[in-house]
């Protein structure tokens, strides 16, 4: 039993001292003929050998373009077969893949490219309402008069190569399908040499964190970070070459790129992409048609799948496991996933982009109560401690900030040593900004964000606790609780509630449900029934946007109540 809130993930399985490319080639030798990638919306079904062939050809083609190890290559695209080819091809060529959020607009794209100095950008023609080619053209009108690979534009000074996925290829662009054909025998030979020269501590990936204030920060991850985090996640899921993983989460995020792609391809499992972007019906259809054994998603995705009018019509009995992560997982939702979606070995995972991403996870044979009420114990080869405001480790059961240390911690924020030093202390601990508790067995529970904690009249309130209680209400499908400024109490609680289809309720109904069950000061003063929450593309709810909306609606003067 722990006497303080500190734990380390001791393991008999060693860390993998390889690059992502070397590891993938070893996987191909083991499982060459088995399915590696199934993309329903593109009618793609590739074996490990076929995927390797496409990866190697694309990597050699990138080298032919003059890209050198360490150069940054952006990818701006929804989920498709090209994405995973680029992920492994850039790793093999020693290039640093820069994941660009598919929801970014012009200013955000300009910032991302220039922040890390992207030399090449691989982009889809368009996605939903976003015309990517038009947005790039707005930033760099010089493209239309340039030849492919020789772009020179004032607002994007580092960029010289554009590669287009899908659609009619525009002037100044290479077509994605052209790149493998550019590769010469010399380029393939260079690729083999790089396999020996590249080191597993080399950076492989830059992911921009979606902060609520300031500019996005470029978390820089290595082969070692990404490969081991994916591998040990696959171990936790007990993946084998018989598994098929349905991936509705976006690939640009760690959840898709590491916990899905790398977790599966290190274990001989098949990746199944149901669509470009999340759609609950398509996910249900895909799981049934492909007999998927695993399903990933953030809680809002599982809520949408469970709440689909045709949910009961689908045979999901092939499902065994998967991950629910990305934001706090409501206990009642987890119970339904286990019972109604047949995911008896579903696990909860917790982490952040800066930790590659997993820090803790439940195990498939943990007691059901631990599976649905905690985020599990420490991942192998990782340390965790929970500290108070003075930096001291707290006793088990006490709330404090969760810190993580180990192979999983990023190299730092790209070209931002000051911000890096603010997040990673001199002892190597990554400060997550999450409030957590650890019990005597080492199971962790996330109770909120340091910045989300509401202080009402001197009482510390953790919105997560209230959300978990409200999820018990039979009419509530989803709920988010947050604080808004108040003259008397400094802050008051507000709850935004999404009701189940065809259900109705009043504010008084919700308050009555709370009366006598939770402390009076935890009962939300403001209650709003909504159809949806403002979200990031990864499914994370943006409480700051809800707070801003309520401040405007209530006519609250921020300065007066600060």
How do the domains of the chain map onto residue ranges?
A: 20-32+42-208, 454-561
**CB-CB neighbours of 104 under 10 Å:** 20
**pLDDT at residue number 211:** 47
181-193: average pLDDT: 98
pLDDT tier at 521 (50, 70, 90 boundaries)? confident
H/E run at residue 282: helix 280-290
CATH architecture of 454-561: 2-Layer Sandwich (3.30)
Q: Where are the beta strands (DSSP E) in 388-439?
A: 400-406, 412-413, 430-438
* Cα–Cα distance measured from residue 86 to residue 78, given in angstroms and rounded to the nearest whole number: 13
Contacts of 516 (CB under 8 A, 6+ apart): none
* Cα–Cα distance measured from residue 297 to residue 330, given in angstroms and rounded to the nearest whole number: 13
Residue 558 has pLDDT above 50, yes or no: no
Residue 210 has pLDDT above 70, yes or no: no
Give DSSP secondary structure letters for 63-117: HHTT--TT-EEEEE--SSHHHHHHHHHHHHTT-EEEE--TT--HHHHHHHHHHHT
Domain 20-32+42-208 classified CATH 3.40.50.980?
yes
pLDDT tier at 562 (50, 70, 90 boundaries)? very low
pLDDT tier at 241 (50, 70, 90 boundaries)? very high
> 3-state SS string over 370-397?
HHHHCCCEECCCEEEEEECCCCCECCCC
260-286: average pLDDT: 98
Contacts of 42 (CB under 8 A, 6+ apart): 80, 81
**pLDDT at residue number 197:** 98
304-311: average pLDDT: 95
Contacts of 477 (CB under 8 A, 6+ apart): 303, 307, 498, 499, 500, 501
Min mean pLDDT across 45-49, 300-304, 504-508 is at: 300-304
**pLDDT at residue number 457:** 67
28 and 267 Cβ atoms separated by less than 8 Å: no
pLDDT tier at 485 (50, 70, 90 boundaries)? confident
pLDDT digits (tens, 9 = 90+) for 118-168: 999 999 999 988 899 999 999 999 999 999 999 999 999 999 999 999 999
**CB-CB neighbours of 557 under 10 Å:** 10
**CB-CB neighbours of 288 under 10 Å:** 16
419-442: average pLDDT: 95
**pLDDT at residue number 557:** 62
Structure-block tokens of residue 114: 């220039």
The answer to whether 20-32+42-208 and 454-561 have equal CATH topology is no
| DSSP assigned state of 170 | P
> 3-state SS string over 141-167?
HHHHHCCCCCCCCCCCCCCCEEEEECC
Which residue, among 330, 430, 320, has the nearest Cα to 375 in the 3D structure? 330
Place of tokens 């080399």: 202
Structure-block tokens of residue 228: 């081991």
* Cα–Cα distance measured from residue 307 to residue 503, given in angstroms and rounded to the nearest whole number: 12
Which residue, among 113, 131, 110, 111, has the nearest Cα to 121 in the 3D structure? 113
121 and 226 Cβ atoms separated by less than 8 Å: no
pLDDT tier at 70 (50, 70, 90 boundaries)? very high
**pLDDT at residue number 542:** 86
Mean pLDDT of all residues belonging to the chain: 93
Residue 47 has pLDDT above 60, yes or no: yes
Place of tokens 């499908």: 477
Task: Output the pTM of the full model.
Answer: 0.85
508-531: average pLDDT: 91
Share of the chain above pLDDT 70, in %: 97
Place of tokens 């993938």: 24
* Cα–Cα distance measured from residue 228 to residue 195, given in angstroms and rounded to the nearest whole number: 18
pLDDT tier at 498 (50, 70, 90 boundaries)? very high
Q: Which of 87-101, 316-330, 367-381 has the highest mean pLDDT?
A: 87-101
Residue 561 has pLDDT above 60, yes or no: no
| DSSP assigned state of 447 | E
**pLDDT at residue number 215:** 73
């Amino acid at each position: 039993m722990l006497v303080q809130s500190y734990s380390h993930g001791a393991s008999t399985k060693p860390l993998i001292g390889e690059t992502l490319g070397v590891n993938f080639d070893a996987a191909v030798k083991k499982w060459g003929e088995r399915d590696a990638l199934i993309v329903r919306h593109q009618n793609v079904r590739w074996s490990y050998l076929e995927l390797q062939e496409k990866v190697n050809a694309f990597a050699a083609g990138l080298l032919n373009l003059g890209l050198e190890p360490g150069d940054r290559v952006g990818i701006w695209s929804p989920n498709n077969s090209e994405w995973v080819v680029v992920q492994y091809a850039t790793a093999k060529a020693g290039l640093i893949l820069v994941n660009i959020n598919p929801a970014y607009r012009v200013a955000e794209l300009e910032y991302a490219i220039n922040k890390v100095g992207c030399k090449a950008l691989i982009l889809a023609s368009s996605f939903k309402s976003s015309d990517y080619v038009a947005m790039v053209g707005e930033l760099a009108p010089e493209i239309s008069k340039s030849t492919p690979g020789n772009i020179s534009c004032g607002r994007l000074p580092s960029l010289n190569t554009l590669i287009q996925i899908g659609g009619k290829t525009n002037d100044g662009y290479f077509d994605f399908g052209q790149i493998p054909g550019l590769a010469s025998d010399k380029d393939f030979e260079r690729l083999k040499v790089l396999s020996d020269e590249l080191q597993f501590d080399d950076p492989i990936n830059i992911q921009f964190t979606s902060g609520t204030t300031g500019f996005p920060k470029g978390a820089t991850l290595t082969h070692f970070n990404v490969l081991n985090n994916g591998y040990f996640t696959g171990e936790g899921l007990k993946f084998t070459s018989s598994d098929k993983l349905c991936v509705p989460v976006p690939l640009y995020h760690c959840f898709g790129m590491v916990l899905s792609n790398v977790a599966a391809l290190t274990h001989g499992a098949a990746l199944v992409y149901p669509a470009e972007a999340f759609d609950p019906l398509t996910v249900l259809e895909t799981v049934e048609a492909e007999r998927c054994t695993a399903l990933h998603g953030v809680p809002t995705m599982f809520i949408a799948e469970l709440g689909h009018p045709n949910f009961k019509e689908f045979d999901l009995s092939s499902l065994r496991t998967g991950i629910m992560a990305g934001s706090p997982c409501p206990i009642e939702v987890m119970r339904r996933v286990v019972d109604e979606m047949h995911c008896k070995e579903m696990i909860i995972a917790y982490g952040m982009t800066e930790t590659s991403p997993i820090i803790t996870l439940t195990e498939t044979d943990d007691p059901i109560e631990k599976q649905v009420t905690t985020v599990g114990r420490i991942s192998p080869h990782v340390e965790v401690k929970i500290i108070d405001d003075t930096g001291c480790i707290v006793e088990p059961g006490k709330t404090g900030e969760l810190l993580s240390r180990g192979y999983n911690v990023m190299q730092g924020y790209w070209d931002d040593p000051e911000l890096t030093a603010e997040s990673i202390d001199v002892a190597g601990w990554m400060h997550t900004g999450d409030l957590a508790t650890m019990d005597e067995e080492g199971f962790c529970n996330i109770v909120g964000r340091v910045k989300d904690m509401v202080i009402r009249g001197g009482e510390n309130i953790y919105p997560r606790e209230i959300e978990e209680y409200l999820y018990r209400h039979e009419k509530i499908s989803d709920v988010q609780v947050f604080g808004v400024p108040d003259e008397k109490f400094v802050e008051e609680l507000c709850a935004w509630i999404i009701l189940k289809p065809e259900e109705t309720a009043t504010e008084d109904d919700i308050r009555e449900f709370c009366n006598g069950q939770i402390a009076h000061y935890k009962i939300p003063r403001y209650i709003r029934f909504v159809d949806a929450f403002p979200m990031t593309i990864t499914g994370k709810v943006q409480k700051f946007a809800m707070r801003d909306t309520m401040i405007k609606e209530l006519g609250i003067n921020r300065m007066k109540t600060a």
